[in-house]
Structure 1
C-alpha cells in the first residue's frame, strides 16, 4: 500500500478515528498474507482501544499487543514487553496505534531508538469534523506538538473526516480539502482518504485514486 514503511505509527487527535484506521490497515495487510502485528499503545483513553478486538483480529492471523495486564476495562497504563517483538523482528509489518494528542504520543519516546529516518512512517489521522482540528492552523499546531513529544516526524496525512455511521460524501470531501491545504503548507503528503465502503461509489472521481475503504470494527451494531 503506497510503499509504506514496515513500521507504521498512527497518531492524531481524540476522536480522529486512529484506532479504526489502524485496525482496517492491519486487516488489509493480513489479507495480503503479510505477517502483521497491531500494537495498542493507547494508555490515555479507556474506551475504543484496538486491544478490545483482539480475538477477532487474531482469528485473522494478526498479532495484537496491548497491556501487560489482561483486563481491557481497567484504566492502568501498563505496556507489554512484547511491543519490542515487531520492532526488532523485521519479518513483521508493525502498526502502532498511539493514544490521542501529545499526551498519548509520549509513549513513543520509550521506543525512540527504533525509529530511524527512512524505516518508519508516522501518519497523522485528520478528522475535519473535530472542533480542535477544523483549520489549517489548528492542525499544524497539533502536528508540531505531537512531533515534539514523540521525537518522530510525521510522514503522511490520513484524511478521515467522519460522523461515524452518519458520515456523508460531503464530510469526506470537506476533510479531503482541509487535508490538501495542510499538506501544501507542511509538505507532508496526503497518503489516504478513508471512506466507509458503501460511500466509495458516490465519491467524486478526482479523489478516488487514494481512497482507503474501511469498515467500522469498533462500533457495535447498536451504536450510532
Structure 2
C-alpha cells in the first residue's frame, strides 16, 4: 500500500480525478490520527476544488489553505499563504495542483522550495491518470501530458496514480482493463505506480494486487449527483 512522504504534490490532466484523490488521501491520513494540511492550488478550474470540502475537512481536523478567490466568483486569485512555512510545519502537506500545464505553471513559482524537500526524500509528486479521459486513453498520450506538467512546474514526478474511473458508473472490469495501461505508462516513464484507486461503489477486480489497491470515496460531487453520494 502506498505510504506517502511528508509532502504530497498531486497533479494530473483535467478530469483525471486528482482533486477526488487528494480529498481521499487527506481523509485516510486523518482517519489514522495524522495531522494533515491540504493546500488548494488549483488556480485554473472554478468547478472542482478541494476548497469545496472545507466543512468536511473541519469535521475531521484537516486544515485547508486556499487562495482568497477559491469558492467565490472572483476570477483573479490572491495566494496569501507561505507554502515554504506550510512545508516545514508538522504533519502531512497535500498540495492539490491545477490541471495540465496551465495549473502546473503556478506551482513552478515554488519549485525551488519544494525541490529542496524532494532532494531530501521528503516529497512525493504524483501524476494522477485516468485512462477513461479522452485525451489520456493511451500510455503515450498520458506520458505527453505528464511530461508537460513536469516542464511547467520545474519539478519531477516520483509516482503515478492509476485513477481510471467513470465516477458512479465505474466497474471492476473498467479498472482491470486499465492495469496493463498503467504498467505500460510506468515502464515508459520509469516511475512506480503508487496505487490503483477503486471507488467505494465498485467491486475490486481480481487482477488487482491488494498492495496496490486504494479505496476512495466519490468525494467530488458532480451537479447531477445527490449530496448523499459525496463526502459530507
Tell me, yes or no, if the aligned pair for 2:8 and 2:94 is still in contact at 8 Å.
yes
1:60 aligns with 2:60: yes
Equivalent residue, structure 2, for 1:213:
215
Q: Normalising by structure 1, report the TM-score.
A: 0.92
Equivalent residue, structure 2, for 1:151:
154
CA distance in 1, matches of 2:18, 2:71: 22
Matches within 5 A, 1:45-56: 45-56=45-56
The gaps in structure 1 that reach 5 residues or longer are none
SS in 1 for 2:148: helix
Of stretches 76-85 and 14-23 in structure 1, the one that deviates more from structure 2 is: 76-85
SS in 1 for 2:194: strand
1:108 to partner: Cα distance: 1.0
Structure 1 moving runs of 4+ over 6 Å: none
1:188 to partner: Cα distance: 0.3
1:120 aligns with 2:123: yes
SS in 2 for 1:146: helix
1:155 to partner: Cα distance: 0.6
Equivalent residue, structure 1, for 2:199:
196
User: 1:140-197: per-residue Cα shift (whole Å, max 9, x none)?
Assistant: 1111111111011111110001111011112211222211111012110001111112
Tell me, yes or no, if the aligned pair for 1:6 and 1:119 is still in contact at 8 Å.
yes
Equivalent residue, structure 2, for 1:6:
6
The gaps in structure 2 that reach 5 residues or longer are 227-232
SS in 2 for 1:81: coil
Equivalent residue, structure 2, for 1:174:
177
Of stretches 56-65 and 211-220 in structure 1, the one that deviates more from structure 2 is: 211-220
1:58 to partner: Cα distance: 1.4
SS in 2 for 1:193: strand
1:160 aligns with 2:163: yes
User: 1:92-149: per-residue Cα shift (whole Å, max 9, x none)?
Assistant: 2000000000110011112112222222111000100111111121111111111111
1:82 to partner: Cα distance: 4.5
Residue correspondences, number: 222
1:68 to partner: Cα distance: 2.4
